[in-house]
């Protein structure tokens, strides 16, 4: 068989596989993740607050030990800092955000704080430039206020993705709706409310490895945390 003919056949098979995947896909909105979901929360380390004997590894291990006691199934995702200092990558590629998708800003959020012991809290930031509540770390990171779409990649096929979302102030929400695109198909727009915690997600029994999030509203800036997934193999 000629090389060009073989390449054409391979290309056609890839196209047909993509069409089949899209045909089988049926994404739908969900309101909550099951307790078995793998969930991540963003943290950064304040290394200038470390004391003798501390290291990135030991402080991260202490953080995870506290999370295991207070919020089981929540895993610390350590990032280098805010303002896109590096792409967000949690669980060695389990969830990867686009390198220019997210920023962090100082501000108050309705999302639930994760309270840590004071000794550990001084060494941890929640993905932002400062803590908001003494003795607590506020789960916080914010979407691009220009409304750029958000892309997420998983290193395995997943059946569900979900997160907690803060759409802004009750009287002036920055976001009024969220839409997901999975397997080339868009969900309906999910209405979200400012001033409260919104639990939102998407499910597709066909599985997916890539996800796009589109926000609608005034400034389209949004805050989320405790984002997680259920692998297709465990669905």
Concatenating the DSSP letter of every residue in the chain gives --HHHHHHHHHHHHHHHHHHHHHH---EEES---TTSEEEEEEEE-GGG--TT--HHHHHHHHHHHHHHHSTTEEEEE-S-STTSS--EETTTTEEE-TTSEE------SSPPEE--HHHHTTEESSSSS-SSTTEE----EE-TT---EEEEEEEEEEEEEEEEE-B-SSSBS-SEEEEEETTEEPPPEE--TTSPEEEEEEEEEEEEEEEEEEESSS---EEEEEEEEEGGG-
180 pLDDT exceeds 90? yes
d(CA 232, CA 89): 20
Cα separations (Å) of 127 from 5, 78, 81, 217, 227? 51, 8, 6, 24, 14
Q: Rounded to an integer, what is the distance from CA 113 to the centroid of its chain?
A: 17
Query: Which domains, and CATH codes, for the chain?
Result: 27-33+144-234 (2.60.120), 38-142 (no CATH)
Q: pLDDT (tens digit, 9 = 90+) per residue, 35-76? A: 889 999 888 888 889 999 999 999 999 999 999 998 888 999
Contacts of 172 (CB under 8 A, 6+ apart): 194, 218
In this predicted structure, what is the pLDDT of residue 107?
A: 57
Lowest-confidence range among 36-45, 96-105, 194-203, 224-233?
A: 96-105
- For 108, phi then psi, to 5°, come to -95, 140
In 3D space, the residue among 158, 157, 159, 214 whose CA is nearest the CA of residue 181 turns out to be 214
174 pLDDT exceeds 50? yes
Question: Can you give the pTM of this predicted structure?
Answer: 0.81
Q: How many CA atoms lie within 13 A of 192 on its CB side?
A: 37
16 pLDDT exceeds 60? no
In this predicted structure, what is the pLDDT of residue 122?
A: 86
């Amino acid at each position: 068989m000629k090389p060009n003919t073989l390449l054409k056949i391979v290309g056609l098979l890839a196209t047909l596989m993509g069409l089949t995947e899209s045909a089988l896909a049926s994404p739908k909105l969900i309101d909550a993740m099951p307790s078995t979901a793998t969930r991540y929360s963003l943290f950064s380390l304040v290394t200038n607050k470390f004391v003798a004997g501390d290291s990135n590894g030991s402080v991260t291990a202490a953080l995870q030990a506290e999370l295991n006691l207070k919020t089981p199934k929540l895993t610390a995702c350590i990032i280098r800092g805010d303002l896109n200092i590096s792409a967000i990558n949690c669980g060695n590629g389990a969830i990867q955000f686009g390198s220019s998708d997210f920023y962090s800003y100082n501000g108050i959020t309705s999302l639930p704080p994760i309270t840590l012991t004071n000794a550990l809290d001084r060494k941890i930031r929640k993905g932002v430039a400062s803590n908001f509540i003494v003795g607590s770390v506020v789960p916080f990171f914010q979407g691009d206020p220009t409304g750029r779409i958000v892309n997420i990649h998983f290193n395995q096929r997943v059946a569900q993705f979900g997160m907690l979302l803060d759409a802004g102030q009750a009287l002036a929400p920055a976001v009024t709706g969220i839409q997901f695109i999975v397997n080339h198909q868009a969900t309906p727009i999910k209405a979200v409310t400012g001033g409260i915690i919104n639990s939102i997600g998407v499910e597709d029994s066909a599985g997916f490895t890539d996800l796009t999030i589109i926000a609608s509203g005034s400034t389209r800036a949004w805050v989320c945390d405790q984002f997680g997934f259920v692998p297709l193999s465990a669905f």
